[in-house]
Amino acid sequence: MILYNNLKRFYSIGKFADRLPYTLGQALNETRPNLIKPGDITAGITAQEYYLRRLKLLDKLPAKSCVILPSNITRYASGSVFYKFQQNTDFYYLSGFDEPNSLIILEKPNDNLEESLFHMLVQEKDPFKEKWEGARTGTENSYNFFNADEVYDIKNWKPYLEKILKSSEKVFFNIDYSFSTFANDEIAKVINDSGKTFLNYKRIISENRLIKSEDEIAIIRKCGQISGRSYNEAMAAKIQSEKNLQAFLEYKFISNGLDSSGYIPVVAGGPNALTIHYTINNDIIRDDEMVLIDAGGKFGNYTADISRTFPIMGKFSEPQRELYEAVLDAQRECIKVCSQVVSGGVSFADLHNFSRELLYRNLQQLGGFKDLEKNIDVLYPHHIGHYLGLDLHDVPSISMKEALKENSVITIEPGIYCPADDSFVPKHYQNIGIRIEDNVALLADGNYSNLTVEAVKEVVDIENVIANGTNRSMSESFLKPLI
């Protein structure tokens, strides 16, 4: 009942005035009602959903266990120049708390989930530091707004953790040095000094994160809709500078209602598209070249991930069109079979092999490629896609060989990259790179939804958008209203 009562406490806070008499470290409805709805902790995700996420994780754990999750820390580029803060997504998924130098602990004393405890250890408010670094939520506000059962000053985390460890028989903690998390090695030492060993929780939480709620899918859909329409506006702009095209697209993401870009965009004109993760984005796009863009807008820490390739001046040459249609056909077919993947026990690896066979067939029909069977993996060197969620490449601990699951979100992204001066590539296809990517939700009963359908990809639609702008008639999917 403790967590339930805290949930009720959260919903009662709406009685506060429009401007609270204190500041918080992140947007909440009480301070940013233009961004966060009543009852939500973060954009589109309710306090109840965060509560249920914690219970779902604890339900998979034995009695007398605890889960220890540190937040990320602020990283510095040089001196006092800091990078934009990016939260540990497991930490964020369970709490919605978006501040550095923090710790959450989920404790399950017995098999009664209602007696489980949610501990938060956060930075206390400090007027001097907040003047320079921005507001902190602090312990009292964290208790009031984030439904914790106990909140403590992070400065004294060691004795607090030692106390919890005394009553915990199973300890779940994950060390991953690819992230800059708070007190990683020190936490491991405290656990070891207590005589306990710790178990990795990553697989357990990844299984939960893999299956998206209706609210999560709705947020990714919003990212996809707005990002897709922003793409169309960028196509119509005919901007022949990679960096200016990137700036225009990111401006459209934000001005149309998203928070930011979800990742550093790829804006690759001409042969630059042969580099899969080309992000320097500082070249000129020539009149006869196509540009490959891989970008997506972010909202509430979820992101879209879209790739489109189009002729910068609006007309495909014959070789460009032929290669483009070969990739587009493969992408269409892969999306179509999303109605069968869950019921058929299809894995991501199976879907990739299907896309490889389609591209091989399509290139073979075009003709001119030598030793195609041997060279198909040179022309198509990356995987068909990945899971999508709070991380761009979400839940990597879920193997590509595992069967795809209902209510997961995946990307479908075949590509072709034809190098220059290679004897197996026909001359007229050399220096062309093409990739087309959409985001697909695998829904119940064999249904699926293309979450990025607004971004035009048919040849006729691309040429119409570039010739006439985004206000002329085009495919029905483009005309669907925004969320």
Question: Over 50: is that where the pLDDT of 476 sits?
Answer: no
Running DSSP on this structure, what letter comes out for residue 195? T
Question: Over 60: is that where the pLDDT of 377 sits?
Answer: yes
Question: Over 80: is that where the pLDDT of 8 sits?
Answer: no
Report how far apart, in Å, the C-alpha atoms of 148 and of each of 4, 55, 126, 165 are: 11, 13, 21, 19
Looking at per-residue pLDDT, the higher value among 351 and 474 belongs to 351
- Whether the CB-CB separation of 373 and 363 falls below 8 Å is answered with no
pLDDT at 14: 39
Tokens, residue 375: 């060279």
Concatenated DSSP letters for 294-352?
Answer: EE-EEETTEE--EEEEEETTS---HHHHHHHHHHHHHHHHHHHGGGTTTTTT-BHHHHH
The percentage of the chain sitting over the pLDDT mark of 90, rounded to a whole number, equals 88
Question: Over 70: is that where the pLDDT of 462 sits?
Answer: yes
Question: Over 90: is that where the pLDDT of 122 sits?
Answer: yes
CA–CA distance, 349 with 37 (Å, rounded to integer): 39
Amino acid at 253: F
Domain spans, the chain: 2-209, 211-479
Query: In the beta sheet, which residues pair with residue 433?
Result: 417
Report how far apart, in Å, the C-alpha atoms of 34 and of each of 37, 157, 163, 218, 225 are: 8, 35, 41, 18, 20
Question: Over 60: is that where the pLDDT of 85 sits?
Answer: yes
Task: Give the DSSP H or E segment for 198.
Answer: strand 198-199
* Length of the chain (residues): 483
HSE value, Cβ hemisphere, 13 Å, CA-based, for 191: 23
Classify 427 as helix, strand or coil.
helix
Query: In the beta sheet, which residues pair with residue 108?
Result: 65
Amino acid at 105: I
Question: Over 50: is that where the pLDDT of 418 sits?
Answer: yes
What distance, in Å, lies between the first and last C-alpha atoms of the chain?
36
Amino acid at 158: K
CATH homologous superfamily of 211-479 equals Creatinase/methionine aminopeptidase superfamily (3.90.230.10)
Q: What is the pLDDT of residues 231-281, one digit of tens each?
A: 999 999 999 999 999 999 999 999 999 999 999 999 999 999 999 999 999
Tokens, residue 470: 């985004």
pTM > 0.75 = yes
Q: Do domains 2-209 and 211-479 have the same CATH topology?
A: no
Running DSSP on this structure, what letter comes out for residue 239? -
Question: Over 90: is that where the pLDDT of 178 sits?
Answer: no
Question: Over 90: is that where the pLDDT of 26 sits?
Answer: yes
CATH class of 2-209: alpha beta
Q: What is the pLDDT of residues 123-145, one digit of tens each?
A: 999 999 999 999 999 999 999 99
Confidence of residue 170 (pLDDT cuts 50, 70, 90): very high
Confidence of residue 179 (pLDDT cuts 50, 70, 90): confident
Contacts of range 333-337, beta carbons closer than 8 Å, 24 or more positions apart: 333/358, 334/358, 334/384, 334/412, 334/414, 335/412, 335/438, 335/440, 335/448, 335/450
pLDDT at 80: 87
